[in-house]
């Protein structure tokens, strides 16, 4: 895979990134079937395999259960420079439910905690984890300005927001480096955010590229095409100017390899 620049930052990212929600949480998730949390050996093996494939983006969050702590334990400190770690603030998963806090005070607390959990001195990309009220949270709490201040302190290399609305995505582009959006053949509503990011030379990360595992819906939609639904989806996404990296959440090496092989041809 040819690395891509993450907007105007100095960060180069692989077109495919590895999502790690499954490293730490299997409760109240939107995947179609149940899965077991991997053992340390299984998780470490997947990380090593991802690195061999050229994947350098790891996406995590405090809301992903034990994901941050496990990455901090599993990633050798000497290999820290080999990874672009994306994590988030704003959402906590407590006793089976998501809770949200977008105050600057909680942001600072959350970032300091993530640094300790991940066993690192800096976070490559820090995103606000949306609850759906994107515009309100940006304007009322000044959360993106808070992240910019922490970026100036050297704790963060790039800032942004994982949004749920077009209006929020467009506003976040004006106040940060990166936006993470939902985009796949079934969900194209945030295409305008991607195209605006391309105009502004801002970074775009893609979530739910394979419809959170509901690939059968994409297959049904694409019944007349020759490509399999995964190839169809990745071609659809990665050929969109402005897309920096697509986050794929999987625990299976063969699935990750197949996705990387597809991305390498686009």
Catalytic positions: 64
Instruction: Return the HEC string of the chain.
Output: CCCEECCCCCCEECCEEEECHHHHCCCCCCCCCCCCCCCHHHHHHHHHHHHHHCCCEEECCCCCCCHHHHHHHHCCHHHHHHCEEEEEECEEEECCEEEECCCHHHHHHHHHHHHHHHCCCCEEEEEEECCCCHHHHHHHHCHHHHHHHHHHCCCEEEEEEECCCHHHHHHHHHHCCEEEEECECCECCCHHHHHHHHHHCCEEEEECCCHHHCHHHHHHHCCCCCCCHHHHHHHHHHCCCCCCEEEEECCCHHHHHHHHHHHCCC
Say how far apart CA 3 and CA 261 lie, in whole Å: 14
């Amino acid at each position: 895979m040819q690395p891509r620049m993450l907007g105007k930052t100095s960060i180069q990212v692989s077109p495919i990134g590895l999502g790690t929600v499954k490293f730490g949480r299997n409760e109240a998730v939107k995947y179609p079937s149940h899965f077991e949390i991997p053992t340390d050996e299984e998780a470490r093996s997947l990380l090593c395999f991802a690195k061999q494939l050229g994947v350098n983006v790891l996406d995590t969050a405090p809301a992903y259960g034990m994901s941050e702590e496990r990455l901090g334990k599993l990633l050798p400190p000497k290999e820290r420079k080999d990874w672009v770690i994306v994590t988030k603030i704003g959402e906590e998963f407590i006793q089976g439910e998501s809770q949200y806090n977008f105050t600057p005070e909680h942001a600072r607390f959350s970032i300091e905690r993530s640094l300790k959990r991940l066993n690192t001195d800096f976070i490559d990309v820090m995103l606000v984890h949306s609850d759906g009220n994107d515009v309100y949270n940006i304007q009322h709490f000044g959360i993106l300005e808070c992240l910019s201040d922490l970026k100036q302190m050297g704790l963060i290399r790039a800032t942004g927001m994982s949004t749920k609305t077009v209006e929020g995505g467009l506003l976040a582009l004006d106040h940060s480096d990166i936006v993470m959006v939902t985009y796949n053949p079934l969900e194209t509503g945030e295409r305008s955010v991607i195209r605006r990011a391309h105009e502004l030379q801002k970074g775009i990360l893609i979530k739910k590229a394979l419809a959170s595992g509901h690939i059968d819906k994409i297959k049904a939609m694409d019944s007349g095409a020759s490509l399999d639904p995964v190839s169809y989806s990745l071609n659809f996404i990665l050929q969109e100017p402005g897309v920096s990296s697509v986050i794929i959440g999987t625990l299976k090496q063969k699935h990750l390899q197949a996705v990387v092989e597809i991305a390498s041809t686009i």
